Structures are given as structure tokens and as C-alpha cells.
């Protein structure tokens, strides 16, 4: 699945506006956004899944600004955005809308095909904003990674939620990995619901490792586990 040319144009213009606006705001000290690379990003064209914690609406522009625009990002995002007053704009973006809480198989399959085709995708496994502490995650990210063979890049976002202005925020990109690098990985033919839960827990621990302890929330203890898709 390749992004239609209109999607690419809208994304290019949108991300260009975001990048230049953020640069200006940083220059005038309106925002204090910082990027930390714990490891280099995988090469462009690699099937990639960026997985991040989610503490506020501006996580999305923060991530869009921090990832080089040579990566033509897709977003796995809640379908409710299409009913937003800016829904016309979201419809033009490279976005796969998902009906949350329904195990949306159509959206998951579309995401698998998109990533398998070499399009990097951003997903927030918690499925909603947390309160600065990690929530119990859904298994959608793991399902997509399993079927697409994606390399996963964990992202840790820190910084207080509101207000946006004059508050430091940082985004950390952790070392990339594949699901078969995780201790809970089992052969694909033996994947069942508990396997998905265990893999999701391991993925969330990779995100938690990029965050201060007070952000760990549900994933503060190794025995905690993830839940349904």
C-alpha cells in the first residue's frame, strides 16, 4: 500500500509547517522540545512500526517533527478523529482509522499491508492518552508487527501535559528490535492470546525503559501484563 500522491503532498506540507513552526518556537523559547537518539533509526524502506507512550495531543506533532521527513509516516489512529472539526484534514493524511474497543480486524489488516509494503507507521499502544503514567496497552501493535514482520522502534515521550508553552518536552528513540528478539516470543504457529499479551508487555517495557520511573505506571513491575486488542 503506497500513500496516494495527495496524501504525500498533504503530509509534506503539514510536516514542513510543523517543523518550521517548531524551529521558530524553539528559537523564541516558546517551546523546549528535544530529541534523544539512543540508537540510530533503521534505514528508510524498512518495514517500521514506531510505538510510543501517549500523554497529550501534541505527542503527534512532536513525533512528526522528530522523525526525518524522508520517512513517509502513516498513523494508526482513532476513527473519532474523522468526526473532529478538522476531520477533512485527517481524511487526507496517511492514516488508518481504527474503531477502538472493537478488535477492528479490517483496520489491523490494512495496517499490516501498509507496513509490509515498507511504509513506516506510528501507533500508540495504550489507545488513548495516559496521565503521565503508562496504561495497560492493547495488543494491536504486536498483531501488526507479527503479521508484517516489522522492525519496532520504541519511543518515550516525557514532559507535562498542559500547557504546551514554555514547558520542556523530550522524545527519545530507543534501539530498534524485532518481536523474535523478545524473551516472550514463541514460534508464530504457537501464537495465542496469552502470547500476544506477553509480547505486548515486553514491548511496553522497552518503552518504559526510555522513561523516568514515575512514568512507568502499569508497567512498573515485570509481572504486569497487557490486555486485549
- Tally Cβ neighbours within 10 Å of residue 189: 5
Cell numbers describing residue 128? 488513548
Give the pLDDT score at 14: 59
Q: What are phi and psi of 12, to 5 degrees?
A: -60, -45
How far is Cα of residue 31 from the mean position of the Cα atoms in its chain?
22
Alpha-carbon gap, residue 8 to 2, rounded angstroms = 9
Give the pLDDT score at 226: 47
Cβ distance 172 to 36 under 8 Å?
A: yes
Give the pLDDT score at 126: 94
Placement of cell 506477553 in the chain? 198
Cβ distance 202 to 177 under 8 Å?
A: no
Give the pLDDT score at 53: 96
Domains and their CATH numbers in the chain: 5-219 (3.40.1130)
The model's pTM is: 0.81
Q: Under DSSP, is residue 200 helix (H, G, I), strand (E, B) or coil?
A: helix
Report the chain (229 residues): mean pLDDT per 10 consecutive residues.
52 58 59 79 91 88 85 80 54 74 84 93 91 92 94 92 68 94 74 84 95 93 51
Give the pLDDT score at 228: 47
Give the single-character DSSP code of 25: H
Give the pLDDT score at 35: 83
Q: Under DSSP, is residue 78 helix (H, G, I), strand (E, B) or coil?
A: strand
- List CB contacts of 5: < 8 A, sequence separation 6 or more: none
Amino acid at each position: 500500500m503506497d500513500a496516494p500522491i495527495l496524501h504525500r503532498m498533504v503530509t509534506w506540507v503539514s510536516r514542513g509547517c510543523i517543523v518550521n513552526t517548531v524551529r521558530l518556537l524553539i528559537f523564541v523559547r516558546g517551546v523546549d522540545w528535544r530529541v534523544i537518539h539512543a540508537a540510530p533509526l533503521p534505514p528508510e524502506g524498512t518495514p517500521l512500526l514506531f510505538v510510543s507512550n501517549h500523554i497529550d495531543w501534541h505527542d503527534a506533532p512532536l513525533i512528526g517533527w522528530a522523525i526525518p521527513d524522508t520517512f513517509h509516516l502513516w498513523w494508526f489512529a482513532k476513527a473519532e478523529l474523522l468526526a473532529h472539526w478538522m476531520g477533512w484534514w485527517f481524511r487526507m493524511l496517511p492514516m488508518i482509522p481504527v474503531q477502538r474497543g472493537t478488535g477492528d480486524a479490517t483496520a489491523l489488516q490494512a495496517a499490516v499491508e501498509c507496513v509490509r509494503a515498507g511504509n513506516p507507521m506510528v501507533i500508540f499502544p495504550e489507545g488513548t492518552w495516559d496521565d503521565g503514567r503508562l496504561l495497560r496497552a492493547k495488543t494491536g501493535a504486536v498483531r501488526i508487527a507479527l503479521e508484517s514482520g516489522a522492525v519496532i522502534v520504541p519511543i518515550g515521550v516525557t514532559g507535562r501535559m498542559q500547557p504546551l508553552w514554555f514547558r520542556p518536552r523530550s522524545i527519545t528513540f530507543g534501539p530498534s528490535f524485532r518481536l523474535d528478539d523478545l524473551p516472550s516470543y514463541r514460534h508464530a504457529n504457537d501464537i495465542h492470546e496469552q502470547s500476544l499479551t506477553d509480547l505486548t508487555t515486553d514491548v511496553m517495557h522497552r518503552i518504559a525503559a526510555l522513561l523516568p520511573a514515575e512514568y512507568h505506571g502499569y508497567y512498573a513491575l515485570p509481572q504486569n501484563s497487557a490486555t486485549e486488542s
